Chain A
Amino acid sequence: MSVKKLAKEDFAKFVEALIEKDNVIGVQAKGERFDFAPLESAQDLRLDYDVTLQPPKKYFLPPKEVLMTFEVGGAYASEYEDETFVLLGVHPYDVVGINQMDELFSQDNYDTHYMKRRNNATIIACDVVTPSENVFASSMKTAVVKEGFDILLTDLGDSYVAEAATEKGEALLAGAAEADDAALQAREAVWAKNQKALNKHELECDAAYLPKLLGRSYDHNVWDDMARTCFSCGSCNQVCPTCYCFNVQDDVNWDLKTGQRERCWDGCLLDGFTKVAGEHEFRDQRAHRFRHRLYRKAKYVPAKIGGQIACVGCGRCVGACLPGIANPVSVYNRLIDDLGIG
């Protein structure tokens, strides 16, 4: 696949052309923060953003979606959204998040609802220009990505290097000039910088060691200590690019004969998440739910996706947690300090 270079004004034209022919969702300002939203003009695009309020997950797994419609006593019919779209400006750590979700939703039992949206998407990633205040992608080895996108943009000041990684990306970049050696070297420098710079919280071990660390930490007092001030509000779940637990509910139309089955985001931190009919709740302690989330990120989910750590270091949970206890790095570091590595 090819690596192209686009001057900034040509890039703006590229974006305008993209908006003409597809649904483009791009990063834009939202108050003093940033978020993904439908893009109407290249001017609104802010590829210099630090982090978006929500991860791009919602375009594949929306907060609420209709899975199927039904007739009472009759058949069920799958419902799908089937429109192509372009996600423009996905940071490397979020690309990793999407790739992990792809694996989780396609393995064992293929989730056609997630995967149809995913297959309809074109992902244009961009290297981080402004590190956010809580990012720790460098620690999680997600500061730079080499795969999982259709196009990767790297800002070189007056131009972008644009690498196509798929046929889809290649087609979009047709016509652009090849990147010269100087541009490629400048891109290497951006990568080298980001590998280190996206590290506002530094994990004191190699991320690959985390599953082993947690293998020794189940009864550690950190869980009770931290969860003492946990609201069980699920904010950490809601903003996480790799949290994908969901609830399913039926609702009927006013005819009481037809209706739809919907799925909506859920969260393992929430009270009632494991409660069965008859009121027994299997993880009724805040500390156990708090531990469960951090075990999912660095032990349980990694076992399903070839050892990849399911925390991508975006830092959103750190900022979203009101009592300030959600930072995975502080918890893991405390375990390392207490238990050592080995």
Chain B
Amino acid sequence: MDNIAGTKSSLTWAVHLSVALLVALWLFPTVGLFVSSFRTADQIATNGWWKALFPSEQNLTLRTDSPETQVQQGALYVIEGNLFAVDGRPVDEATVSAWGTSSRDIAAYEPGDVAEVDDGATLTVDDAGNYRMEGPAEFTGRRGERVFVVATTPPELTFENYRNLLFSGRNTDGMVNAFFSTMTVTIPATVIPILIAAFAAYALAWMDFKGRALLIALVVGLLVVPLQLALIPLLKLHLAIGIGKGYLGVWLAHTGFGLPMAIYLLRNYMAGLPRDIIENARVDGATEFQIFTKIILPLSFPALASFAIFQFLWTWNDLLVAKVFLIDATGQTTVMTAQIVDLLGTRGGNWEILATAAFVSIAVPLFVFFAMQKYLVRGLLAGSVK
């Protein structure tokens, strides 16, 4: 817009740079969690996730194979193998930069050096982690010799966390159960208010009756009533009429809390539809019910979609309403948000579990967000700009 008068802003590069910085800053936290969910517990604890994409230098404590595997070569007893090998096969392409046999000096030797272990036995480790330990006497003991290694390991990402959280047989953390609970809460709580609100919005937008202005003012007022106020009275009501804590209660609560927003959004949208269409239909003898179902509802699709996304995000991400109206003492119906808060308490240090659980719960809303962003923005604008 600043180019209109023919003066190309000299600040363009600064704008690009600042936007890039802003985006990076806003994206950074989420990326951190995302990357962490693909790292093993050891990796997370060893260094920051921002180093996950580069080779990292680690201090490792490894062991040679046990004396059972020794072979006799002439007068010498020899144990050979690779320090990084798990179950006999090499795993990753780590590079040894220094190694040692004592915890007091873990970088005592260069790769290729020969170290005296004890009783005349010697050990040598090359930069790929291959070692050869040889001695004049038979090696004894159950376990192999301890070797300390300073090694550069390549970045490694794994789906292990997701497999453990979602598919492992002993699903101790109950995320799968919570995922389905959240689904069960969300879908009816999104669908039911739409229909109720659509009828009310039509009446408020296109029907003439006494008290209409008052009702609209009431809806606008209820838009901002904090739902904290509703918690005790409604819980009391639910307990009194036998709904108790459960899905039915949480569906009803979400329906009630979502209605003001739904009516407000839909009424504003419907009031903006062209008057001609509706009056022509009336002249042609269509009943109000027909006008609503055949004309208004299809034309209002964008507004319906906007509200549906709002309500979906809100119910999926909700913690408070679920805690009050749904989750009972048995904990069978716990939703993902509540499950994650529990994990924060019990598994506060286990970032591989936390990050994965959080990302499982975030993934669906993020998908909806990127797929339906157009409607979300439209709804926000209709809901706020006066």
Please indicate whether A and B come from the same complex rather than being unrelated chains. Answer: no
Residues of A within 8 A of B (CB): none
Contact surface of B with A, Cβ cutoff 8 Å: none
